[in-house]
Amino acid sequence: MNIKRVMFVGTMIVTMSFAGTAWSKSAISPIPLTEWSIVSLNTKDDNKDELMTALNHSSEEDLYQDLYAGKSLKAIADENGGDFRQVVALQVNQLRQQLDERLASGSITQQQYEAQHAEIEQIVLDSASTSYEWA
């Protein structure tokens, strides 16, 4: 397999998963929400995607096309006047939440958690700053 293709597809999948609904809703809710409830416990605007806002990008399709063209998230944010630090912070937060859930469920040990937690920010920063182009 071509390592560039693997890295590009992996980055694209991670980016698109962050651009989805995972940012707007909590995966764990202590109170079951009903559709007919008159009180909304979710204070985030479902119509605004935090990643798209941070990138100052118009649509997910355009983001997909930019990533497919080999642009890094840093380049996309710079081109559109977005906030790259916010992009990194959003991704780091999401990955830390996933790590917390994995630790709570027992799928990783405390040592694994601490090792991965210490590396998250640098991994996200490196990944978001790297351009992946098709060979």
Average pLDDT over residues 4-27: 56
Q: Is residue 134 part of a domain?
A: no
Report how far residue 97's alpha carbon sits from residue 85's, in angstroms, rounded to the nearest whole number. 18
Number of domains the chain is built from: 1
- Asked whether residue 92 is domain-assigned, the answer is yes
Q: How far apart are CA 56 and CA 65, in angstroms?
A: 15
- Which of 24-33, 54-63, 69-78, 115-124 is predicted least confidently? 24-33
Distances, alpha carbon 108 to alpha carbons 1, 113, 115, 124, in Å: 29, 6, 11, 20
In a domain, 135, yes or no: no
Q: Is residue 8 included in any domain, yes or no?
A: yes
Q: Which two tokens stand for residue 98?
A: 């996933």
Q: Give the structural domain span for 122.
A: 3-19+47-129
String of DSSP letters for 46-70: TT--HHHHHHT-S-HHHHHHHHHTT
- Pick the range with the lowest mean pLDDT from 8-17, 26-35, 45-54, 104-113: 26-35
